[in-house]
């Protein structure tokens, strides 16, 4: 089996042409039923858009140091949050989610992992969590709403450090189910205000009609 570190704390294990992604686990417990081998947790790209992006195009991903701070919008029950928590083991993940039901699982996860700060709030109202969140190195967003670019823009304006990175997982069907995915993608890119656009990557075959849009806040 070959093992290649793609970013600090994340490896691709390759055996007989089969590629598996895994993150060096902060905690001995699985989070969503994933297998743990020699301290690495397998990372399912079908359940995580960041996992899909890392498997498809890890080189497009901006560097994230082990002590970085991340604002994560649309945390759900913490599947991908848990892998980000592995990556920024000495940093913090501010995990925003507005579903009370998901928040219960997220709080349980944060009790095992001291670098996750669960925040029950609406990401389209970033002023609501100003009391908890400090300037961050990454804003990561995975929210199926009509105004995804607007939510990303307002959070980056308030919380992203100059020189920091946005990773927006855009679900085009949530913006407009009738328009072509390409047309929605182009329109949403135009709506990303105050950021320098970076690479754009589709997430097929793991996630249909989803794009990862990378952008940087100018210094």
Ligand X SMILES: C[S@@+](CC[C@H](N)C(=O)[O-])C[C@H]1O[C@@H](n2cnc3c(N)ncnc32)[C@H](O)[C@@H]1O
> Which chain residues interact with ligand X by CB under 6 A?
48, 74, 76, 79-80, 96-99, 102, 122-124, 142-145
Q: In whole angstroms, give the CA distance from residue 152 to residue 158.
A: 10
Spatial strand order of the sheet with 2-7 comes to 2-7, 10-15, 18-24, 40-43, 36-37
Q: Whose Cβ is closer to ligand X: residue 3's or residue 7's?
A: 7
Q: Whose Cβ is closer to ligand X: residue 150's or residue 196's?
A: 150
Taking a C-beta distance cutoff of 8 angstroms, is the pair 201, 207 a contact? no
Residue closest to ligand X when measured from CB atoms: 74
Tally the C-alpha atoms within 13 A of residue 197's C-alpha that lie toward its C-beta. Answer: 14
Least separation in angstroms between residue 219's CB and ligand X is 28
Least separation in angstroms between residue 200's CB and ligand X is 19
Least separation in angstroms between residue 100's CB and ligand X is 10
Pairing of strands 40-43, 160-171: unpaired
145 alpha carbon, distance to own chain's centre: 16
The verdict on whether omega for the bond into residue 125 sits within 30 degrees of 0, i.e. cis, is no
Least separation in angstroms between residue 68's CB and ligand X is 18
Q: In whole angstroms, give the CA distance from residue 195 to residue 219.
A: 10
Least separation in angstroms between residue 149's CB and ligand X is 13
Q: Whose Cβ is closer to ligand X: residue 3's or residue 157's?
A: 157
Residue 207 tokens read as 């996630």
CA-nearest of 191, 170, 172 to 180 is: 172
Q: Whose Cβ is closer to ligand X: residue 169's or residue 185's?
A: 169
Tally the C-alpha atoms within 13 A of residue 138's C-alpha that lie toward its C-beta. Answer: 29
Least separation in angstroms between residue 60's CB and ligand X is 18
Q: Whose Cβ is closer to ligand X: residue 27's or residue 122's?
A: 122
Q: Whose Cβ is closer to ligand X: residue 16's or residue 58's?
A: 58
């Amino acid at each position: 089996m070959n093992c290649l570190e793609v970013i600090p704390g994340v490896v691709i294990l390759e055996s007989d042409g089969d590629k598996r992604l895994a993150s060096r686990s902060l905690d001995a417990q699985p989070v969503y039923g994933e297998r743990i081998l020699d301290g690495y947790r397998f990372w399912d790209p079908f359940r995580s858009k960041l996992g899909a992006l890392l498997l498809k195009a890890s080189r497009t991903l901006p560097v994230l140091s082990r002590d970085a701070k991340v604002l994560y919008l649309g945390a759900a029950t913490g599947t991908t949050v848990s892998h980000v928590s592995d990556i920024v083991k000495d940093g913090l993940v501010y995990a925003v989610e507005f579903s009370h039901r998901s928040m219960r699982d997220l709080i349980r996860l944060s009790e095992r992992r001291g670098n996750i700060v669960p925040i029950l709030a609406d990401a389209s109202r970033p002023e609501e969590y100003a009391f908890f969140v400090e300037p961050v190195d990454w804003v990561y967003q995975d929210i199926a709403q009509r105004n995804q670019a607007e939510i990303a823009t307002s959070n980056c304006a308030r919380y992203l450090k100059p020189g920091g990175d946005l990773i927006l997982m855009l679900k085009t069907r949530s913006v407009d189910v009738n328009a072509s995915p390409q047309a929605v993608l182009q329109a949403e890119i135009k709506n990303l205000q105050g950021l320098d656009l970076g690479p754009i990557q589709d997430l097929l075959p793991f996630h249909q009609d989803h794009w990862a849009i990378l952008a940087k806040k100018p210094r």
